[in-house]
Amino acid sequence: MRQEHLIAAQTLCTHYNIEISFVATLNQMGLIQIEIIEQEQFINQEQIGNLEKIIRLYNELHVNLEGIDVVLNLLNKEKELKNEVTSLKNRLRLYEND
């Protein structure tokens, strides 16, 4: 993993006004992945969108972390199903045009 894609967890905490312990809990629950380099915690920038979503669900909808885990899993499943529907629709076109 290239290091320039990593953002210090502390920087994100300041930016999003969250506690570092919150980030650590998210990591423990597997909701985000923390990289530790020279005893400092980093988050890959690809996870920022996910982190923002978690913060919004937590702060705005008061969903607890277990609930967020369930929501994210269901959203992923929904996304997979949507992709499958698209793929099946494309396959169906193969026969519809005959």
Partner 1 sequence: MAFIDYYKTLGISKNATNKEIKTAYRKLARKFHPDINPDNKDAELNFKNINEANQVLSDPENRKKYDTYGKNWKHGAEYQQAQNQQQRQHQSQNQSGQQGFSEDAYSDFFESMFGGASGSSRQRQRPRFKGQDFNAELHLKLKDVYTSHQQVLTVNGKKIRLTVPAGVENGQVIKIKGKGDKGANGGPNGDLYLKFVIDNDTEFKRVGNDLYQKITLDLYTSILGGEATIDTFNGKVKLQIKPETKNETKVKLKGKGFPVYKNEEKFGDLIITYHIAMPTDLSKEEIALFKELQKIKTK
The residues of the shown chain that bind partner 1, judged by CB under 8 A, are 17, 49, 52-53, 56-57, 59-63, 71, 75, 86-87, 89-91, 93-94, 97
CB of 16 to partner 1, least distance (A): 9
For residues 15 and 24, which CB has a smaller minimum distance to partner 1 in the complex?
Answer: 15
Q: Is 57 helix (H, G, I), strand (E, B) or coil?
A: helix
- Which amino acid type is present at position 40? E
- Which amino acid type is present at position 53? K
Distance CA 14, CA 51 (A): 14
Distance CA 35, CA 4 (A): 13
CB of 60 to partner 1, least distance (A): 4
For residues 8 and 36, which CB has a smaller minimum distance to partner 1 in the complex?
Answer: 8
